[in-house]
Structure 1
Amino acid sequence: MVRSDRLNGQIRKALSGFYYVYAEGETYQTRARGNFRNRKITPLVGDDVIFESDNLTDGYLLEILPRENELVRPSVANVDIGVVVMSMIEPNFSYNLLDRFLVALEHKRIQPVIYLTKIDLLEEAGLKQLDNIRQVYQSSYPIIIGDRSDEDQRSIRELEQYFPDRLTVFMGQSGAGKSTLLNKISPELQLTTGEISEALGRGKHTTRHVELIPLYDGLVADTPGFSSIEFLEMDAVELPKQFPEFVKASTGCKFRECMHRKEPGCEVKKEVAEGTIAQVRYDNYLQFLSEIEDRRPVYKKKSKGN
């Protein structure tokens, strides 16, 4: 029975100006009050909200409750788990791209899970690289090995354990198999797959509406998500905090706000030299740091020219 009350709920879908809010076992179609636009507030899928309604089709959002985090492409709020899908081959694995995803998720306080695909296509050199990937990341992140035909359900079951009571999104390389993986987890999604579809359908996936699907006692965003990352919201001093092994080592650094680049007595540089911290992670860190530092003067020059 529907009643006209202030209710607490969660936005599960946003489409054509309507927000579909789940509350007390029902889904309410709502609109945002006009003052949301005046206050430059855009409700997002995943938002916890206060709304009012006296039937299932004519509700109004009254308030967006504080967010834990938010992502763009897909636009989702209050994300708990980010599954980073990376291919070992076709396209080839990229430490740099994986680290971009991991840093972005760490910055948003989202737990990353690494899911590696196309293992069955690897030859000897690729299998050696797989061992190295495990050595680099397994101390900081869960790693799931997928796409072994005889154990495919094993990897899916391993992934599903992260879903209960959490909101999960997928991201990773274009062509790595995000849509294929989502279809295995929930066949009713029927997302477009295949090399040509991955290339041509990317815009379609990023512009289509996002919906949260209840799966395995949790919620999963029904979109393969974004495939590239820029560090637009991060300051240089924040970057070292997004590498868990750096955070652990930094307690031994001489300087409290050590940037692990030129400072004397840096424990991170010491552990890189000893092989405790992977050289590839440190090299990527230095590249990301340069990108962030190089970005800032560009914005300042633009503002002066206006």
Structure 2
Amino acid sequence: MQGKIVKGISGFYYVHVVESGIYECKAKGIFRQQKMKPLVGDDVEIDIISEEKKTGNVAAILPRKNALIRPAVANVDQALLIFAAASPNPNFNLLDRFLVMMGRQDVPVILCFNKCDLITEEQQQEIAAIYEASGCKILFVSAKKELGLKELQEILEGKTTTVAGPSGVGKSSLINLLAPEACMETGEISKKIERGRHTTRHAELIQLKGDGYIMDTPGFSSLYLPEMEKEELQDCYPEFAAFEPYCRFQGCSHINEPDCGVKEALSEGKIHPVRYENYCQLYGELKDRKKY
């Protein structure tokens, strides 16, 4: 019997079979031997143990379209990265780390800034200007005021989208609006610590009102860069490409070399300084990593 893994918790995999519902399954030992782990989003074959109790074993993982490491999900079309426009202010270095990770896996990213009702139109334009040449689509929404949801729904229509972002940016609130039947926790305000608590503890595949799925994943507060050479980092900054032919040296790192087309574009305001500063920091991190 074939189905799709819609949730994975503590070694149990919940497999949705179109004709007969959801089965609670364990993975067979062969996957451990092959050092392969079933992921949310995987299309799988299962062996039924009990039809009455809806239990079974994951017997085979069907070929994947792709598999992401962070978040750990499979068969996605795009990533929806949610940050708050304010309260808390967006951490652009953390955002760039996620873009590098998705860029390395050829997954298109939609940047979604929630809580847009807390900032002015001018402030929205300032944020958008940072990423307008990054190749990402940029949206400003408000879960609280239900602003911008129609455009977001259109982008998600017919796609399997992994949703990610830091804790406390309203990710669960947005997902509740997109898929009300999911009845997700939005997190209560802790009286002891007086701040929001992110309640997503596992990846979960949720069907949208229209034709499409979203994969909710636990929030993150830090991201390590993927295994890569420092020279590959510039490929994750698409806005550099048009200016690289004007660098004097082939293989220019765009940091210390003279007559650098990218640095010249930066000085002329054609590349945003926030993006360039993040590039330099991440480049240094990759360079230091290779020393050890």
Partner in structure 2 of residue 161 of structure 1:
154
Is contact 1:81-1:110 (8 Å) kept? yes
Q: Tell me if structure 2 keeps the 8 A contact 1:246–1:268.
A: yes
Cα drift, residue 288 of structure 1? 0.8
Which amino acid in structure 2 is aligned with residue 45 of structure 1?
V
Residue 50 of structure 1: how far off its partner (Å): 4.4
TM-score, with length taken from structure 1: 0.79
TM-score when scaled to structure 2?
A: 0.83
- Asked if residue 116 in structure 1 is aligned to residue 113 in structure 2, the reply is yes
Alpha-carbon distance in structure 1 between the residues aligned to 2:160 and 2:93 = 26
**Which residue does 1:4 correspond to in 2?**
none
Query: Is 2:225 the partner of 1:231?
Result: yes
Aligned to 2:285: 291
Say how many residue pairs are matched: 283
1:1-306 pair list within 5 angstroms: 9-23=3-17, 25-26=19-20, 27-53=22-48, 57-66=55-64, 68-72=66-70, 74-122=71-119, 127-139=121-133, 140-147=135-142, 152-153=146-147, 155-188=148-181, 189-193=183-187, 196=190, 201-202=197-198, 204-206=199-201, 209-215=202-208, 216-223=210-217, 225-297=219-291, 300=292
Alignment-mate amino acid for residue 83 of structure 1 = L
Shift of 1:82: 1.9
Distance in 2, Cα, partners of 1:43 & 1:50: 11
**CA displacement at 1:274 relative to structure 2:** 1.3
The CA RMSD over aligned residues, in Å, is: 2.9
Name the structure where helix makes up a greater proportion of residues: 1
Q: Report the AA paired with residue 11 of structure 2.
A: G
Query: Amino acid of the residue matched to residue 129 of structure 1?
Result: Q
Where structure 2 has 5 or more consecutive residues not aligned to the other structure, the ranges are none
Gaps of 5+ in 1: 1-6, 301-306
Please say if residues 51 and 63 of structure 1, whose CA atoms lie closer than 8 Å, have aligned partners that are also in contact. no
**CA–CA distance in 2 between the matches of 1:23 and 1:174?**
32
Aligned pair in 2 of structure 1 residues 28, 257: CA closer, same or farther (>3 Å)? farther
| Distance of 2:150 and 2:243 partners within structure 1 | 34
Change (3 A) 1:146 1:257: same
Q: Give the distance between the partners of 1:257 and 1:28, measured in 2 at CA.
A: 53
Where 1:276 maps in the other structure, the secondary structure is coil
> Does the residue aligned with 2:8 lie in a helix, a strand or coil?
strand
Structure 1 pair 148–43 and aligned structure 2 pair: CA distance change class (3 A):
closer
Tell me, yes or no, if the aligned pair for 1:165 and 1:217 is still in contact at 8 Å. yes
